[in-house]
Structures are given as C-alpha cells and as structure tokens.
Amino acid sequence: MYEQGVIRPPSEAQSLLIRVTRNCPWNQCIFCPAYKGVKFSRRSVEEVKKDIDNMAKEYESYRGMIKSAFLQDADSLVLKTQDILEIINYTREKFPGLERITTYARATTLKRKTAEELKQLQEAGLTRIHVGMESGSAKVLKMIKKGITPEDIVEGGKKVVEAGMSLSEYIMPGVGGRTMSEENAVETARLLNQIRPDFIRVRTFAMHPMSPMRRLVTDGSFVAMNDAEIVGEIKTLVANLDEMHTYFSCGDFSLNLLMQVDGPLNEKKTYMLSELDKFLTLAPEQQKAYALIRRSSYMNYPIEAVYDEELMKKILPEIEKLEKDDPEGFYKYIEHLKSYQLPQPQTDDWN
C-alpha cells in the first residue's frame, strides 16, 4: 500500500508517483479545483520511505526499468531541503534506473530556497521543476488569488535555471477574461523572456461550474473568452516571446484548441504564428465548426478540416440547433464540454 495524489503533469504519465506532501499549502486560487475540500499536510520522511519500499516490492520485476519519478503534491519543496534530499537519495537507491526526478513547486517556495539548497537538490538528482505561473500580469494574479507576484515568478524561475535544473512554466491564456486579455499575453511573455525556461506549457483556461469565479461573471468583473478570442490571445503571447531555446507546448493538453502550436521558439515561432493566423482568418462559422469538432473529441484535427464539405454539412446544422433558442447556446455548450476535462474538487462546497 502507498499513497498517491490526484494530479501530475501529463509528461509524468509514466513516472513513479511519490507523495511527499498531501494537497496544496496555498489552495486559494479561485480557478483551481484540484485540492478544494482537502487540507494540506506534510508527510514524514519515514512514512514516505515506507511507500517507496512498498512500490519497490510491487514493481520488483521491472524496478530497474523505471526511468522517472514525480514527487507529489502541489508544492513539494515546502519540505525541509534535508528531508527532500533524503527522499531523493532513498528513491534512487531503490530504483537505480531513474534518470529523471521532478516535482511541482510554487514560485514563492522556490524564492525561499537558497541557491545552495537548489544546487544540492539538482546534484542529488532533482532534474526538473514544474511551476504554475498562470499569468505574468500582477492584476490577473491578484484577481485569481494566486498568492504570488510577477517578481516572485521571475526570481523563483531564474533560481531554478541557475541551479541547472530544467524548468517548466505553466500559463493560462484566457484566465484574465476579455478585458485583461492583452495584458495577460504581453505581461506573461515579458516575464517568460526574462526567465527563459525550458518549457512553456499552455493550459487554456476553462471555468469549473462550481468555481467561485462564477461570481465574477455575475458581477460583471470577468468576461469569459471564447475559443477564437483565446487563440487571438495566444497569438499575441507567441508574437511577444523571444526566439529562444524554450519549447512552447500546446500539444500536451487537449483543452488547447490548436494542439499543433507546439515546438521550440527558436525554430518554430513563425510556423506557430502562421497556424494561429490560419485559424483566426477563418469565417466565424468555420471557427465554430472547428471548435465543435475539436471539443467533441480528444483528437487533434488540422484546421483544413473545415474545408471538408461533407463534414461541414453535418456540423453546421448542429451549431444552428445549439443557437436556435439562445444566441449564446453554442458557446455555453462548448464551455460545458471543456469543463469535463478539469479535475473535480473534493468537496460539494467550493467557496
């Protein structure tokens, strides 16, 4: 028996999941369902070691073939550095084939670690840190109660890069709503150009039906963006990013409409901008048709799918049906489809 947390990055799908803390020590972001309803706690090194022993027994026959491990949950580096080092060393002893150990960390937690501590972690084998920055805009970060500032993001991110670890920054186009869309894109790009992480992973915003963000919609302070508007925001973001070594990724998350916008910025920025433009120059009905095709399945489709007359004969009447009694019916349906892909809060009372 061993514990596992509810989420991990898609890139860690094959990784050993080692739970070193439970849930999220901050847990106040108003868009995030993952740990709502459950309390944060630290696990003792002894407890984690018992889990590692049990995993080693369970995976005995192919223990040496396991190549990567991910330390859960949302902010593992809140543990004392000495404790994390002990856990990493023990994990590597029991799983000698490990080539990569990674974890999530909040920017404020990274900021608190000294350069020496991060270097020690890197030398012990912590190879990558996944950070949810969401936005580079101070106003957006405040609205979503992220509990971090742009300065925290830059300082925390740069410390990881300087320690020689790989850095994945997660960003959320659309989370500022229509009124802050431009600022969200420009400020996010400005920070990322300073940090120069190895990965920028795009997580298109979708609102959970139980999210307290609904109240911002009701009072008019948040205007949700549709797919075409979010593609426009991503275009502004990409246009403002430097042609650096960073891998810009829409391809690992199916809530991103154009998953083909994916690649190193120093090689594929022009291609990515042209794909974004290809969608943005479609007629509004074609954009809706493409969104409906994509949102109805997990498959990626080329934008040219909208030039398939047979397919369009099936899709356009569906859009008409959705808009027959409510001009917003199509967008509401798309939002509903998107919300199915979000993690579920672990409570019925998410406030």
- Span interacting with ligand SF4, options 12-20, 32-40, 111-119, 325-333, rule CB under 6 A: 32-40
Among 2, 26, 95, 290, binds ligand SF4 (CB under 6 A): 26
Question: CB of 193: closest distance to ligand SF4 in angstroms?
Answer: 23
User: Which residues, including other chains, have CB under 8 Å from residue 213's CB and lie 6 or more apart?
Assistant: 30, 31, 144, 207, 222
Q: Which is nearer to ligand SF4, 145 or 190 (CB)?
A: 145
Residues 61 and 80: their CA atoms lie apart, in Å, by: 33
Q: Does 156 bind ligand SF4 (CB under 6 A)?
A: no
Q: Does 29 bind ligand SF4 (CB under 6 A)?
A: yes
Residues 266 and 248: their CA atoms lie apart, in Å, by: 10
Q: Does 170 bind ligand SF4 (CB under 6 A)?
A: no
Binding mask 127-146 for ligand SF4 (x = CB under 6 A): -----x--------------
**Which residues from 87-126 bind ligand SF4, rule CB under 6 A?**
106
Q: Does 32 bind ligand SF4 (CB under 6 A)?
A: yes
**Which residues from 57-76 bind ligand SF4, rule CB under 6 A?**
74
- 20 three-state secondary structure: coil
Report residue 277 CA to chain centroid gap: 24
Q: Which is nearer to ligand SF4, 34 or 303 (CB)?
A: 34
Q: Which is nearer to ligand SF4, 164 or 212 (CB)?
A: 212
DSSP state of 100: E
Q: Does 27 bind ligand SF4 (CB under 6 A)?
A: yes
3-state secondary structure 143-187: HCCCCCCHHHHHHHHHHHHHCCCEEEEEECCCCCCCCCHHHHHHH
Q: Tokens at residue 91, please? A: 């994990």
Residues 311 and 122: their CA atoms lie apart, in Å, by: 51
**Contact residues for ligand SF4, defined by CB under 6 A:** 24, 26-27, 29, 32, 34-35, 74, 106, 132
